[in-house]
Chains A and B, each alone.
Chain A
Amino acid sequence: MTTTQQASSLTGILETVRNAEAGGAEGLQPLRIFILRNYTVEGMLPLLKFQCLRSGLNPTITVGDYDNIRQEILDPGSQLHRSDPELIVLSVYLEHLDPGCIDASWDSSSAHDAMLSMLQELIARTRAPIIVNTFLAPLHVESSIHAARDPNHRVARVQALNAAIRAFAAEHPGQIYVVDWERIQRVLGEEKTIDYRFYYMYRAPFRKEFGEAYSAQVAQIARLLKGKVRKCVVLDADNTLWGGVVGEEGLDGIALDPHAYPGRCYHEFQRSVLNLIQKGVIVAICSKNNEEDLFEVLDKHPHSLLRRNHLAAWRVNWNNKAENIAALARELNIGLDSMVFVDDSSMECQLIREALPEVTVLQVPAKLHELPRLLYQDGLFDTLTVSAEDAQRTAMYVAERERNALKSQVTNIDDYLASLDLRATLRRATDADLGRVAQLLGKTNQFNLTTRRHPESAVRAYAADPNWAIWVMEAGDRFSDLGLVAVMMVRREGELGIVDSLLMSCRALGRRLEDVFVDWALARLESEWGVKRWQAHYIPTRKNAQVREFWAQAGFTTTDATDTLTTYEIEAAARRRPQVSFVRILES
């Protein structure tokens, strides 16, 4: 079914999960999941654990009592609330929610009300993200002739119920996510969805194939909630972006013509790359080629959709590709685990899998007609939210290249920064900013002092809380607008101000914008809230070593330090104001 995953046998899955539970998953990111359910999900748990492990997560899964969802939600002392889950899976099987749904005369309003009140009650009692499912349309209908045309038939009613679930989720974008069971069933077919034997024996309706697809989507959402977003696709060129070897066959010899086979496969693959750029994915090329030959295609080939300006970076040389990809990660300031590498050579693919196991590796399929959808599979580049900044991302990297060209002409760094004509707009986050704030909290790894992944629902609650303040910074220079790049979340306890979160997108690094932002926001709260003393923290992760000394450099004193948390404090009156003359501050 998929290209990035090989099918795994159930015995293999059970063994992998047992190894992980015996301590083999240390180093993966822990995640507490709670499943509210009204059918037997136990058989699917190994599948869900397996998919989580594959996504770099080490899950602890707690399952609520059988068909006891409402009580679990309403009782504040229930297992659900005591286990303090980071993710709740509300897994509801329609036949058990409303047994009447198999009757021809079924009235769906009670199922509708039960489902929506469960969701309402749940979001009123938890800030944890929730994954809900759509219902499966009845597989067997007493009369397909009537089912096909009757708008009140229970097939149509299930679809209306699903529309109501989707609509509710759309109204709560930061908290409720939907896994579409109906779509999984459509893709797999009836045969691979339900096992009636185990449904009637054990109330366990789903076959392994369905359980795997469902689990994969839950794990996918969990991965994104933990900030593991894929940001960059690294492409080989010959026999990946076009057919043939441009260095040998020349500009006219390669296959890229949308009106002929196999050119149209490559052409459509390039189109999928452009669609990803629109979504905010950045593109790099890593090819063993002569740079002139490669750019002749991108600059001059009439059918090449991909052009030089679509590239965030490239390594076109004869070096080892593992070294090239590692260098690209450094240049683009992104983690290897956020990169996807595509190459036609099984040798290169194997090299990267071994040398850089964090990188997701896709080989150009032998069946060329599968190439155009290669990058769309398995929700590889899925994101939880989409922001206005996403579509601009590539342009920002192109502007960064131009900045670097300028930098190489200027010898003094302050002259360079002054020549950029930097501007920063500083303000309290508005409602419209909160989606982007949650997105940055969810994915920023490097310049992130505490890496607290507050979900959007929590961010919205803090924004409305008078004891919290969320500050944001938009930045720009003469080359481009960088968009909303920094977030600081502060809470107060009397006259003590505590910096809960401070982060900045890596695209804004190296301009001292962070100093301007922090100083300005703290000064505002000193006057608005009367803060007399500040407290801030550094929580180390594998990726944020670069900000280890941030608070010390800002003049704060260490008051407590362990391996997992350093606490800093400073008297507001003793705070040094940074002198940064080259940033124009616009307040709003």
Chain B
Amino acid sequence: MIESKIRSIMARVFGVSDAEINADTSNETLERWDSLGHMNLCLALEEEFGIELEADKVPEMTSFPKVVAAVSSAVQRK
């Protein structure tokens, strides 16, 4: 559930199809996932889930699985 919502948000932030977001997706594989794209991604996730990501987690969220993990833990803390 969380995973599919994150997939759709990432697809919209980076301008790709949902299918292009999978376990292998990382900041190495997506053209728009640069530092600015990363900031947009964090802000969009926070907005859509109503969460605040931990500052220390932000730089570590470099792949789809890591993003899912960070968002899940932030949602649980809410």
Tell whether B2 is near chain A: CB-to-CB under 8 Å. Answer: no
Q: How far is the CA of A208 from the CA of B46 in the complex (A)?
A: 11
Q: A10-B44, A197-B58, A208-B47 are in contact. Are A202 and B39 (CB under 8 A)?
A: yes
Given contacts A15-B12, A198-B39, A202-B39, contact A10 B55 (CB under 8 A): no
- When distances are taken between beta carbons in the complex, the residues of chain A under 8 Å from B13 are 10-11, 14
From residue 302 to 361 of chain A, which have CB atoms closer than 8 A to chain B? none
Q: In the complex, are the beta carbons of A43 and B36 less than 8 A apart? A: yes
Note all chain B residues with C-beta closer than 8 A to A204.
39
Which interface class (under 10, 10 to 19, 20 to 34, 35 or more) fits B?
10 to 19
Question: How far does the alpha carbon of A10 sit from the alpha carbon of B48 in the complex, in Å?
Answer: 9
Interface centre among A9, A10, A197, A202 (most CB of B within 10 A): A10
Question: How many residues on chain A are close to B (CB under 8 Å)?
Answer: 17
State the Cβ distance, A22 to closest chain B Cβ, in Å: 9
Interface: A431 (CB within 8 A): no
Asked if A260 is at the interface (CB within 8 A of a chain B CB), the reply is no
> What residues on A are CB-neighbors of B36 within 8 Å?
42-43
- Which residue of chain A is the closest to B37 with respect to CB atoms? A14
Would you call A10 and B47 a contact (CB within 8 A)?
yes
Q: Name A38-59 residues within 8 Å CB distance of B.
A: 42-43, 46
Contacts of A43 in B (CB 8 A): 36, 39-40, 43
Select from chain B the residue with minimum beta-carbon distance to A15.
Answer: B12
Q: Indicate if B75 sits at the interface (CB-CB under 8 A).
A: no
Assess whether A201 is in contact with B44, with CB atoms less than 8 Å apart: no
Chain B residues lying within 8 Å of A543, measured Cβ to Cβ, are none
Q: Which of A14, A18, A46, A201 contacts B59 (CB 8 A)?
A: A201
Q: Is B70 an interface residue (CB 8 A)?
A: no
Contact of B69 with A by CB under 8 A: no
Tell me the complex Cα distance, A18–B32, Å: 12
Closest residue of A by beta carbon distance from B9 = A11
Question: In angstroms, how far is the closest chain A Cβ from the Cβ of B27?
Answer: 15
B12 A14 Cβ-Cβ under 8 A: yes
- Beyond the given pairs A10-B44, A43-B39, A208-B47, 7 more chain A to chain B contacts, judged by CB atoms under 8 angstroms and listed by A's residue number, are A9-B48, A14-B13, A15-B12, A18-B15, A42-B36, A197-B55, A204-B39
| Contact status of A15 and B47, CB under 8 A, knowing A201-B59, A202-B35, A202-B39 | no
- List residues of chain A with CB within 8 A of the CB of B44: 9-11, 14
Q: Which of B43, B48, B58 contacts A208 (CB 8 A)?
A: B43
In angstroms, Cα B15 to Cα A46, docked, is 13
Instruction: Mark interface residues in A183-212 (1 if CB within 8 Å of B CB, else 0).
Output: 000000000000001101110100010000
Bound together, the chains give a CA A201 to CA B59 distance in angstroms of 9
Which A residues are in CB contact (< 8 Å) with B58?
A: 197, 201
Residues of chain A within 8 A of B15, CB atoms compared: 14-15, 18
Residues of A within 8 A of B39 (CB): 43, 198, 202, 204
Report B14-37 CB contacts with A as 1/0, cut-off 8 Å.
010000000000000000000110
If A42-B36, A198-B39, A202-B35 touch, does A11 touch B48 (CB 8 Å cutoff)? yes
Contact B55 A11 (CB under 8 A): no
Question: What's the Cα separation between A200 and B55 when bound, in Å?
Answer: 10
A43 to B36, CA, bound (A): 6
CA distance A14 to B9 in the complex (A): 11
Contacting A at CB under 8 A, from B39-78, are 39-40, 43-44, 47-48, 55, 58-59
User: Min CB distance, B38 to chain A, in Å?
Assistant: 9
Shortest CB–CB separation between residue A197 and chain B, in angstroms? 4
7 A/B residue pairs, CB under 8 Å, sorted by A:
A9-B47, A9-B48, A10-B47, A11-B48, A12-B12, A198-B39, A208-B47
Within 8 A of B (CB), among A1-43: 9-12, 14-15, 18, 42-43
B52 nearest CB neighbor, chain A only: A197
Nearest residue (CB) in A for B39 is A43
- Of residues 151 to 210 in A, which have CB atoms within 8 Å of B's CB atoms? 197-198, 200-202, 204, 208
A14 to chain B, nearest CB (A): 6
Q: How far is the CB of B37 from chain A (nearest CB, A)?
A: 9
Q: Can you list, as one digit per residue, whether each of A383-412 has a CB less than 8 Å from chain B (1) or not (0)? A: 000000000000000000000000000000
Complex alpha-carbon distance, A11 and B13, angstroms? 6
Chain B residues in 8 Å Cβ range of A197: 55, 58
Q: Which of A9, A14, A42, A43 has the most CB of B within 10 A?
A: A14
Instruction: Report how far A197 CA is from B12 CA in the complex, Å.
Output: 23
Which residues does chain B contribute within 8 Å of A200, judged by CB atoms? 55
CA distance A18 to B58 in the complex (A): 25
The docked-state distance in angstroms from the alpha carbon of A46 to that of B36 is: 11
**In the bound complex, CA of A22 to CA of B32 (Å):** 15
B12: A residues at CB distance < 8 A: 11-12, 14-15
A200 vs B59: C-alpha distance when bound (angstroms) = 12
Q: How far is the CB of B23 from chain A (nearest CB, A)?
A: 22
Quick one: given A15-B15, A18-B15, A201-B59, are A10 and B43 in contact (CB under 8 Å)? yes
